[in-house]
Chains A and B, each alone.
Chain A
Amino acid sequence: MIIQLILTILALVVICLGLVHLGRATILANALILSGGFGIYCVWNPSSTTAVAHALGVGRGTDLLIYLWVVVSTALVLLLYIQLRRQMILITNLARHIAIQEARRPATNRTEVEP
């Protein structure tokens, strides 16, 4: 019974975080609110996940949640990786722009005609 209360409080914190972000980062906010709500439902109705698990051919509800967790976290890692790569390309372009603007030319080449 105590664990259910603790988990419920944690899920409520997640929902609050989602509410705070609502309006700024809509997708993230919705994901937080939904997963918090889903969490509370699962905590108080443990048999419900088991029912779904049985329907899908998985032994226990807990196992089903573990599988889902693996899928979701893998997807998140990939999304983060893509996002990081995108940011690296932006940073590179910025650094390249600065570097070319501040290029230093050798003293002996001053007579060169500007393109």
Chain B
Amino acid sequence: MMEQNRDVWILIAAYNEGSVIGEVVRELRGQFSNVAVVDDGSSDRTGDIALEAGAHVIRHPINLGQGAAIQTGLTYGLARGADYLVTFDADGQHRIEDVKSMFEVVKKFDLDVACGSRFLGSTEAMPTSRRIMLKLAILFTRFTTGVKVTDAHNGLRVFSARGAKQISITQNRMAHASEIIEQIAARKLTMQEVPVTIKYTAYSLQKGQKITNSLSIIMDLLGGRMHK
């Protein structure tokens, strides 16, 4: 398994995830030899813990946001000669089995990118308010990009190197999820959604997006439109 996955880089953006990052990295390292954690200027020991657990650690000198950290991960993975790049959340809500099934889809259909969709798959313990907010985000993304996504804000994605090279995230904060879909549409990348399971835990819910953030995401996207 280790040898099979040498061309794959798992990229994790992490900001103050010291309590969970070690476990997430160790679990991934059991299956993948290349795991990189982008420590987004954490004030806790996220970077050190991830390094001890066996990940490459790239540390932003200042906190820039999840979008910036994901782009740093993609840039790093490509520079290390990755053939496939996986974005994975730090809080342990994604499952490694899903990475494998998405990976198979990308390889089989020679795709640029596969995106995880929790609405095609199953979800464990998703609160109603979260469900409504995500559905609204999906409508917004479909309306602004014309891409018929079923899940706009899923952090689990598998890129081929060809696909990753065509993505350049300028939305440093949470609007990057929509920006990625926009670029997939604008650059006509081949994309497929793959059902995944999200494990909602008390920890991931506490770290997750609040409804009030939706407005600032929309403002960021409008700002991005004004200036390219």
Contacts and interface: CB of A to CB of B under 8 A. Distances in A.
- Number of chain A interface residues as a range: 20 to 34
Given A106-B51, A106-B54, A81 B61 contact: no
Q: Lowest 5 CB-CB distances: which A-B pairs, in order?
A: A115-B81, A82-B227, A103-B58, A104-B57, A106-B54
B72 interface: yes
Given A95-B60, A96-B60, A106-B55, 16 more contacts: A92-B64, A92-B172, A95-B62, A96-B68, A96-B71, A98-B61, A99-B60, A100-B79, A103-B36, A103-B57, A103-B58, A104-B56, A106-B56, A108-B54, A109-B33, A115-B81
A78 B226 contact: yes
B51 A104 contact: yes
A98 B58 CA distance: 9
A86 B227 contact: yes
Contact of B56 (A78, A81, A105, A115): A105
Interface residues of B, number: 29
B61 A95 contact: yes
Nearest to A106: B54
B138 interface: no
Contacts of A60: none
B175 to A, nearest CB: 12
The main secondary structure of chain A at its interface with chain B is helix
A89 interface: yes
B80 A115 contact: yes
Interface of B: 33, 36, 38, 47, 51, 54-62, 64, 68, 71-72, 75-76, 79-81, 170, 172, 223-224, 226-227
18 contacts: A78-B226, A85-B227, A88-B172, A89-B170, A95-B64, A96-B71, A98-B61, A99-B60, A100-B72, A103-B56, A103-B58, A103-B76, A104-B51, A104-B56, A106-B55, A108-B54, A109-B33, A109-B56
B54 to A, nearest CB: 5
Contacts of B51: 104, 106
A86 B81 CA distance: 30
A99 B54 contact: no
A18 to B, nearest CB: 27
Contacts of A95: 60-62, 64, 68
A81 B223 contact: yes
Contacts of B227: 82, 85-86
Most buried by B among A86, A91, A99: A99
Contacts of A91: 62, 64
A115 B62 contact: no
A85 B68 CA distance: 13
Nearest to B47: A104
A99 B63 CA distance: 12
Interface string A61-103: 0000000000000000010011001101101100110111011
Given A82-B227, A86-B227, A99 B56 contact: no
